[in-house]
Amino acid sequence: MGSWRVDDVQQMNQILDQFHQRYPYITVKYQTYGTSDVLVYNNIIESMLQQGTAPDLFYLTSYGFSRRIFNEGFLEPLNNLPGINENFKKEMLAPWAGNDGMPYGVPFIATSHAIYYNKTIFNKLNIKVPTTWDELLSNAARIKASGTFAFANATGESWPMAEIVFMNLAPTFTGGVGEQKRISRRKTMF
């Protein structure tokens, strides 16, 4: 099982130990290829796929890269996988499905995202915790006007900004999944 998640090795080995107890005739090894950088991992997986040496199971990033390797024939459709339609809503499968909705990946781990705020700055500027998008933007403008960065990301890697921050915010400005489908259909007409 290939992954870029080097910080999950211990947890995945615990999960796999339980799996091996139940299915002792199946062996799954969790491997990270020495990188936590998802872009490097994608390149490694793509190279392995082209050479025919990719692992039987591997983590997929959402949308772009995984959809491309599905379209290139490296991933199998999973629409007949037992339990997939009973256990996952179409929206949950969308990040790992083709333009036609055909799933090629199964959600495995969910991630929650949050914005932390500095209470000292909020108290100093007499700002209340926002409960709406407009309040968040207004607060950010006030914080920026005070000479302080309104938002910061201390990850040290580029992929979280693209995959987590941008991909979570972009649908707000593009009309969400429905609007993206409409734009995609319109592009195919020209």
Average pLDDT over residues 16-28: 97
Residue 77 has pLDDT above 50, yes or no: yes
Q: What is the pLDDT of residues 80-129, one digit of tens each?
A: 999 998 999 888 898 899 989 999 999 887 666 678 889 999 999 999 99
Find out whether 149 and 117 touch, Cβ atoms under 8 Å.
no
Mean confidence (pLDDT) of the chain: 85
Residue 177 pLDDT level (bands cut at 50, 70, 90): low
Q: What is the pLDDT of residues 31-46, one digit of tens each?
A: 999 888 888 999 999 9
Q: What is the pLDDT of residues 136-145, one digit of tens each?
A: 989 999 999 9
Report the range out of 56-60, 61-65, 87-91 with the highest average pLDDT: 56-60
Here the tokens at position 131 are: 């409960």
Average pLDDT over residues 131-157: 86
Residue 165 pLDDT level (bands cut at 50, 70, 90): low
In the prediction, which pLDDT does 84 show? 93
Beta strands in the chain (DSSP E): none
Q: Which long-range contacts (CB under 8 A, 24 or more apart) does 162-169 make?
A: 163/38, 163/61, 163/62, 164/111, 164/113, 167/62, 167/63, 168/113
Find out whether 54 and 48 touch, Cβ atoms under 8 Å.
yes
Distances in Å between the Cα of 72 and the Cα atoms of 62, 65, 109, 117, 181 are 16, 11, 25, 43, 21
Average pLDDT over residues 167-190: 55
Helix H or strand E segment including 91: helix 90-93
At 58, phi and psi to the nearest 5? -155, 150
pTM of the model: 0.66
In the prediction, which pLDDT does 190 show? 36
